[in-house]
Structure 1
Amino acid sequence: MQKITFYKYQGTGNDFVMIDNRALFFPKENQEAIALLCDRRFGIGADGLILLENDAITDFRMVYYNSDGSESTMCGNGGRCIVAFAKQLEIIKTQCTFMAVDGLHHATIKEDEVALQMIDVNEVRVNEHQIFVHTGSPHHIVEVNNLESYKVFEEGKKIRYAALYTPGGTNVNFVEAIDTNHYKVRTYERGVEDETFSCGTGATAVAIAMHHLGKATKEEIGIVVPGGSLTISFSCVAPGIYENVILKGPAKKVFSGEISINS
């Protein structure tokens, strides 16, 4: 057995087990241990696990795992939470750079609010049945009515495993307009295989999709998720081309402790 010190963080209800792995002690190949740590009945409970590691060029490196133990693509809320974690560890003060699976990220933090620069978006795919945007993770976007009562799990699961997205699958976002530049979003996340309270890359994808379709008129868009509110800003430099994409919202420590796993 291996005893591990962990920290629990959440960003608009998207929650993560955070581990300081600068000493590279964590058994990354042990998917069962990662899944157990994220299990809400037998472990700590989280949508994912994040390791903070040293990086030769930036302030730190982010390594993200889904709650099923698989290594994942970029997680926007997780990126905001690791910035808050790095500040707690006194690695950074008010701004930083870090490396993630999708490349270099810049971020700033003021109290509990983190503004994270996402990757540029170079394509928005639109047809009669789908809108698709890759914001570090793949996102299918569907506009619906009566979002609060919509069957997100059932309908999201169908699209997540659709032949269109094989072999890796996709995240699925269901969207309803509040007004021109504000939207409600619920997301089915792959890897979690369920609806989450928030998805940062999903909220970013929705904001860009609504702007691309001409439904949103500003380059700063508010997104309301079950776990709170996020703001996404960007510069649209050409149709389907978005730069300086910033995801902003709260990131907070919930608790910390120790747990033993099979190493």
Structure 2
Amino acid sequence: MKINFFKYQGAGNDFILIDHTTSPLKNIDNELIEQLCHRRFGIGADGLMFITRHENYDFEMHYFNADGKLGSMCGNGGRCIVAFAKHLGIIDMEANFLAVDGPHYARISASGDWVDLQMIDVDTVTRDADAYVLNTGSPHYVIQQRDLDGFDVFTAGKSIRYNATYNEKGINVNFVEDKGDHLFVRTYERGVEDETYACGTGVTAVAMAMAKHKNQTGHITTDIKVLGGDIKIEFDYDGHKFTNVFLCGPAKLVFEGEVD
């Protein structure tokens, strides 16, 4: 059987997208998803998404990690699937869709390659020694790190992700360096089990953690650089709860094809 697919990337976070709007989603082959995401033996991606119809929303997003397992919310994936929905003609300039962590609203540029995605509100941020821990649709560990350019993110991130505290469910590990006019972020992602070029829920968590760390309140806009480019985070923070959270960045079609 041949499968039509589209490859998208959001700040270097890349995904395989498959249109499943004409039939119900069933009989998911997790081994096939893992194979398709493999960078040597497949198409290559950080994850795979199916877009399906939903009676109460413009569409529904189903996200699978590169290991073939059903994943938690993926922010950059959410932005890419909005661009894909526009490409398919399902939406125009705005979208209301359902993901694993609930409903999401998004705005898309006229060109179709820049998406502002509303993320969930967050009211719980805890500490693990010097790190901040919070859930922005996926669980994240945020810690500051000097000289991040040359830091071994893979080894350090893997050690935290699999330590005794987080091993059972795993956690995404974000290292951040404050550059003054922007934050530089590198992330080790569970499910991918490697460093990725960007992580949408991760940079959202970093922006929130740093706002809390600096005791900032009000409407906050944070410019973030990742290995794959530039992302902007906006939210309101009253010292207790983060609301009106938007993850803003590129979402671009790379290529489309057909695979057996």
TM-score over 0.5 for the alignment? yes
Normalising by the smaller structure, the TM-score range is over 0.9
In the TM superposition, what are the counterparts of 1:138-217 in structure 2 within 5 Å? 138-179=139-180, 182-214=182-214
TM-score normalised to the size of structure 2?
A: 0.95
In structure 1, C-alpha distance between the alignment counterparts of 2:25 and 2:253, rounded to whole Å: 21
**Alpha-carbon spacing, 1:129–1:98, altered in 2? closer, same or farther (3 Å):** same
In structure 1, C-alpha distance between the alignment counterparts of 2:170 and 2:75, rounded to whole Å: 18
- In the alignment, is the contact (CA less than 8 A) between 2:104 and 2:119 conserved in 1? yes
The RMSD of aligned alpha carbons is 1.4
CA deviation map 1:194-233 (0-9, x unaligned)? 0000000000000000001117676000110000000000
Give the aligned residue type for 1:36: Q
- In the alignment, is the contact (CA less than 8 A) between 2:131 and 2:144 conserved in 1? no
**Alpha-carbon spacing, 1:172–1:28, altered in 2? closer, same or farther (3 Å):** farther
User: Which residue number corresponds to residue 224 of structure 2?
Assistant: 223
Measure how far apart 1:26 and its partner are. 5.9
Gaps of 5+ in 1: none
Give the aligned residue type for 2:210: M
Aligned residues: 257
Gaps of 5+ in 2: none
User: Which residue number corresponds to residue 90 of structure 1?
Assistant: 89
Give the aligned residue type for 1:148: D
TM-score normalised to the size of structure 1?
A: 0.94
Identity %: 51
CA deviation map 1:228-259 (0-9, x unaligned)? 000000011332x1011000000000000000
In structure 2, C-alpha distance between the alignment counterparts of 1:64 and 1:173, rounded to whole Å: 21
Give the aligned residue type for 2:169: G
User: Which residue number corresponds to residue 108 of structure 1?
Assistant: 107
**Alpha-carbon spacing, 1:86–1:108, altered in 2? closer, same or farther (3 Å):** same
Which structure 1 residue ranges, 4+ long, deviate > 4 Å from structure 2?
25-28, 215-218
Measure how far apart 1:101 and its partner are. 0.1
In structure 1, C-alpha distance between the alignment counterparts of 2:215 and 2:188, rounded to whole Å: 23
CA deviation map 1:68-100 (0-9, x unaligned)? 100000000000000000000000000010000
